[in-house]
Amino acid sequence: MATKQKNHKKNRRRLRPNNLSKRLAGRRLPESRAGEALAVAWGVSVTMLAFCNLANIGVHYYASNHPDAMQMAVLGELLLFFGTVAGGISLVLLLILYRVRRVMPPRGVAVFGVCLAVAPILALGMQTLR
């Protein structure tokens, strides 16, 4: 009977909050729904930026080889504008993502997303200075 009481006290000691937090330290805590939704929104914005930037490069290349294609030049300007807007949104989402999420996106993916977001903003800035 005395051994049962000792075992019971040991089990109670194991379940104290300090010991429980040490046991759970190796496990990943679940991510909030808002954090997951924000990560998905940022991923979609980075994907849209990649397509806008690639399409803008293609349209610019085509328009430079065919000077009579005015519609393609207008499409390039439109893609540059949408890329700039999506780049700004992507940068804002990334800042909020770093505040809300527990698990951050990989550093390489974040740097790639920032580079994709800054490229059309810089291109539009250079175009307005010209």
Check residue 29 and report its DSSP letter: P
Residues 6+ apart with CB under 8 A from 88: 117, 121
Residue 19 lies in a domain: no
Q: What domain count does the chain have? A: 1
In a domain, 73, yes or no: yes
Q: Which domain holds residue 50?
A: 32-129
Work out the widest C-alpha separation in the chain, in whole angstroms: 97
pLDDT of residue 124: 92
- Let me know if residue 83 belongs to a domain: yes
> Residue 25 domain-assigned?
no
Quick check: is 38 in a domain? yes
Q: What pLDDT score was predicted for residue 28?
A: 66
- CA–CA gap between residue 130 and residue 119 (Å, rounded): 17
In a domain, 82, yes or no: yes
Q: State the pLDDT at residue 6.
A: 59
Tell me if 41 is assigned to some domain: yes
The mean pLDDT values, 10 residues at a time, for the chain of 130 residues are 59 54 61 89 95 94 90 92 95 94 90 95 91
Q: How many CB atoms lie within 10 A of CB 78?
A: 13
Kindly state whether residue 69 falls inside one of the protein's structural domains: yes
